Structure 1
Amino acid sequence: MASGIDKAGEGRLTHAPADHPPVARPKIGVLLANLGTPDGYDYWSMRRYLSEFLSDKRVIDYPAWKWQPLLQTVILAKRPFTSGANYKLIWNTEANESPLMTITKAQTAAVAAALKDRHGDALMVDFCMRYGNPSTQSKVRAMVQAGCEKIVFFPLYPHYAGATSATANDQFFRALMAETRQPAARVVPEYFENPLYIEALAQSVERAWAAAEVKPDLLVASYHGMPQRYLRQGDPYHCQCQKTTRLLRERLGWGKEMIHTSFQSVFGPEEWLRPYTVEHVAELAKAGKKRIAVIAPAFSADCIETLEEINGEIREAFLHAGGEDFTYIPCLNDDSAHVAALVSVIEDNLAGWIGR
């Protein structure tokens, strides 16, 4: 109980005048953040979402005078139709939302339950999206209004990249700028080396291998790509992805030939990190690797890039090139081992703010 707030918890300061605004009981906020999702797969929902996403300087860093006319006239005239059609293929029609939204809600609920078991009502756990809804600003505002004097902000990206972690943090800081009484804030860094995260990945691979009637010839770890230029500018993402593959391989006790690293979701005319997954799996099929499994360690939740791109486009490329059996290993989502890893990372970042 904070000093000066009455025991009844009514939000009244014990020595304040009667007309003093209500004061919420102090809490600590834990705000999970993911990339985002359109509100629907119709043209205008897709256009709003893609315009916000592709206007982010962390994602596309071309000068606005050059990029925005192309984006607003050419790209956004066509891409909402194709992207909307892809979203429709994977849409959660029962909840009328994207799988990313459904999974992020489930992750948040599981994390909140685990933290409540440890800390009672001292924490307020919620989630936001960098693009689309619920917005980062709306959730920061809700936490401040609920009495959160401290917030741990957790971008759900195991690896750091300017186009993911950094832009999520940027938006969080912008939200703080709008608050009269800013809470103390901590930003959770990348967690790809966390042993519980690697363990959760390894367990998902072991389950897939155990369920296969005929074991895959190898595993492809497909990470979201980025322009090679970003690597040369100092972004550590590529190196962190390579290390994740190595840590996973070591945990599984496999040889180097059993796990390949590749990159997907290439966009625009620049050279991106190689090898490209869609090309690499076709090359594997042509080289006689007829059975492969693919995992996406850079994604904390299944989304358009995994459910449609990997399990659709990339699968088709492999089978068209002569492959026979393609296994997609789902993201960790709200798997109990993944939730345990996320809770461990959160508690590390709560150190000094709350007892374990």
Structure 2
Amino acid sequence: MADSVVKDQPGEGRLTHAPSSHPAVPRAKVGVVLANLGTPDATDYWSMRRYLSEFLSDKRVVDYAGWKWQPLLQLIILTKRPFSSGHAYKSIWNNEKNESPLLTITRAQTEKMTERLKALYGDDVEVDFCMRYGNPSTDSVLKRMKEKGCERIVFFPLYPQYGSPTTATANDQAFRTLMKMKWQPYIRTVPAYFEHPAYIQALANSVQEAYDGFESRPTKLVASYHGVPERYLMEGDPYHCQCQKTTRLLREKLGLSKEEVDTAFQSQFGPEKWVGPQTVEHVAELAKQGHKHIAILSPAFSSDCVETLEEIKEEIHDSFMEAGGETFSYIPCLNDRDDHIDALLAVVNNELSGWLSTP
């Protein structure tokens, strides 16, 4: 991958033709970076405010003109929102590790991916993870990978369906880091994997395992995705269409009828019209229609987080029960399930083609 080096210390050396004064050069490797949304460092007001300010200031997330949005955000929204968001995070916080579940799970996914890739490629690969908002930052991780000798990097946003506020902003942040580097690594960004057979199979496995453990069979399976304004769909964002296809492929894999599986969207905020139906309203309507037992999963989230552990298991659950439902079954995200890691590995291996070969 690079000129041969003479090792001075473990992991570094100097180019064979270079003078002794030449800076040490690490052995060339390929890096794999798993990128997730982000997490506050703690649940207190100022930690939440820093996190929410970074998140809600992202033009990919809220694309209103800054002169309109920032005064509203900084002077009104961020005086109250950190308290309510902090309360939500406290209800799901991993107190043992003093971190959010998203951070815990993403680390576990990275550890398993490291084991898989090391078994295939040995020391030629370096694996790490980063967050678009909060820590570990995209900037710090990509710089660390470069310092370790990663001349080529596969950057993998952990979003099965492509979305401008998710996949695109993760890639944007990676490119911003490259703009500041004297020596940029070659980089490949991983495309959406919403229809990858291994991903669909892992989803189907999780649903079937859950159904096998239920005392009664749900009369409806709801696939709940994070919502986006309808305007994004009209402007060419493929997210909504990819969500619909994921649901269809999952339904077909499970052998269920169209009447047994619905698609809905959660986490709406602001005055705009969003894609629908809204999950919180849809589950209430299902209860009113006589559905006493429903199951719900979140195929757009690679890891359980505040939107699943708090919003779905509390707010959306309560909406269903208050409308007359009796049994609300949440099917966890794929998290660090082995079949999920296998699916992610299949996606990564495709992107590593031509860069690495198995020993």
Aligned to 2:90: 88
Aligned to 1:4: 4
Q: What secondary structure, in the 3-state scheme, does the structure 2 residue paired with 1:272 have?
A: coil
Q: Which amino acid aligns with 1:154?
A: F
| Deviation (angstroms), 1:196 | 0.3
Query: Is 1:176 paired with 2:167?
Result: no
Structure 1 residues 162-311: aligned runs within 5 Å: 162-311=164-313
| Deviation (angstroms), 1:2 | 3.9
Contact 2:193 2:347 in 1 (8 A): yes
2:146 and 2:213 map into 1 onto residues whose CA distance is: 47
| Deviation (angstroms), 1:7 | 5.9
| Deviation (angstroms), 1:218 | 1.2
Aligned to 1:99: 101
Q: What secondary structure, in the 3-state scheme, does the structure 1 residue paired with 2:35 have?
A: strand
| Deviation (angstroms), 1:133 | 0.5
List per-residue Cα deviations over 1:273-316 (Å, max 9, x = no partner).
Answer: 11000000000001000100000000000000000000010000
Which ranges of 4 or more aligned residues in structure 1 deviate by more than 2 Å? 1-4, 7-10
| Deviation (angstroms), 1:3 | 2.6
List per-residue Cα deviations over 1:11-53 (Å, max 9, x = no partner).
Answer: 1222221111100000001011000000000000000000000
Aligned to 2:123: 121
| Deviation (angstroms), 1:164 | 0.2
Q: What secondary structure, in the 3-state scheme, does the structure 2 residue paired with 1:11 have?
A: strand
TM-score with structure 2 length normalisation? 0.98
Q: What secondary structure, in the 3-state scheme, does the structure 1 residue paired with 2:59 have?
A: coil
Q: Gaps (5+ residues) in structure 1?
A: none
Q: Which amino acid aligns with 1:63?
A: A
List per-residue Cα deviations over 1:173-208 (Å, max 9, x = no partner).
Answer: 001111110011100010011100000000000011
Q: What secondary structure, in the 3-state scheme, does the structure 2 residue paired with 1:86 have?
A: helix
Aligned to 2:348: 346
Q: Which amino acid aligns with 1:22?
A: A
Contact 2:7 2:14 in 1 (8 A): no
Aligned to 1:76: 78
2:194 and 2:17 map into 1 onto residues whose CA distance is: 49
List per-residue Cα deviations over 1:136-193 (Å, max 9, x = no partner).
Answer: 0000100111111000000000000000000000000001111110011100010011
Q: Which amino acid aligns with 1:197?
A: Y
Q: Gaps (5+ residues) in structure 2?
A: none
Q: Which amino acid aligns with 1:137?
A: D
CA RMSD of aligned residues (A): 0.9
Select which of 24, 29, 46 maps to 2:48.
Answer: 46
Aligned to 1:25: 27
What percent identity do the matched residue pairs reach? 65
Select which of 330, 333, 337 maps to 2:332.
Answer: 330
Q: What secondary structure, in the 3-state scheme, does the structure 1 residue paired with 2:24 have?
A: coil
Q: What secondary structure, in the 3-state scheme, does the structure 1 residue paired with 2:6 have?
A: coil
